[in-house]
Amino acid sequence: MTRVPILMYHSVSERPNDETRPLAVRPSDFADQLGYLRDHGFTPITFGALVTALHEDDGRDLPARPVVLTFDDGYADFHTEALPLLEKAGAPATVFLTTGWLADAGQDAAGRPLDTMLTWSQAAEAASCGVELGGHSHSHPQLDQLSDADLREELRRNKALIEDRLGLPVPTMAYPYGYSSARVRREVARAGYTAACAVANDVASGRDDVFTIPRLTIAKGTTLSTFGRAVHDRAIPLIYLKERLLTKGFAVVRRTRYGLRRVRGHV
């Protein structure tokens, strides 16, 4: 069975702010990680290419050692820091955009960006360099806490804006915070997405539900040694033990919160 590491990045910055710092990766560390992948025979592909290969072609067209690099939210430092390093390495990537957070969202602005974000022109430039653009909701809410109407609006507005502004198909998305539910996943499919990323901190395979494909968190504290063990699929339950326990706990809290809101008529 083919198992593929999908790496989840956020900010790539030397000086992240307090809100993005825990998940920010220094540019020098990112360069070292790209070098590690090259030196160990990994071939980066986009998330969409992986989905097609695993779920439509039974993995026949995959390179010998595939890896996927994804970036959530759409921070401006993707353009200034990550993209030049990706181009130098010849590595494609996937950026999941929160459209309401974009720096020039204008009348479509929504939510509260955590840092300086990409502009539409920077997103278009990234796409012209081979970067795949996917959806990440419009205002970055916890999707599983929204009413049905608000959930539909978040998903469909996000997808439509990217497609209309950039003239690109957007078949894939990632859940903000990694949170979803059966109800959210049904609405994702109805919105026209064909695949979605969760977090889960595990390696992806063709056995995964196409709407809950797992990724591995790469953050400030990810050493090159830990990075190597993760991409080689070694000791992942131990590497991400804390994250997995927190995820399970938050899932219970969110289900309870959503149930209470329904009882009170807020959803």
Average the pLDDT over each of 74-78, 85-89, 206-210 and give the range with the smallest value: 206-210
Q: Which CATH fold would you assign to the domain 3-263?
A: TIM Barrel (3.20.20)
pLDDT, tens digit, 9 for 90 and up, residues 14-43: 999 999 999 999 999 999 999 999 999 999
Any residues with CB less than 8 A from the CB of 182 and at least 6 apart, and which? none
**Under 8 Å between Cβ of 133 and 173:** no
SS3 category, 8: strand
pTM metric for this prediction: 0.91
Domain boundaries in the chain?
A: 3-263
Sign, CA dihedral 28-29-33-39, equals positive
Report the relative pairing of strands 195-200 and 172-174 from DSSP bridges. parallel
Task: Judge whether residue 258 has pLDDT over 60.
Answer: no
Tell me the percentage of the chain whose pLDDT exceeds 90. 82
Quickly state the pLDDT bin for 84 (edges 50, 70, 90).
Answer: very high
pLDDT, tens digit, 9 for 90 and up, residues 198-225: 998 999 999 999 999 999 999 999 999 9
CA-CA distances (angstroms) from residue 37 to 32, 44, 265?
9, 8, 50
pLDDT, tens digit, 9 for 90 and up, residues 141-197: 999 999 999 999 999 999 999 999 999 999 999 999 998 999 999 999 999 999 999
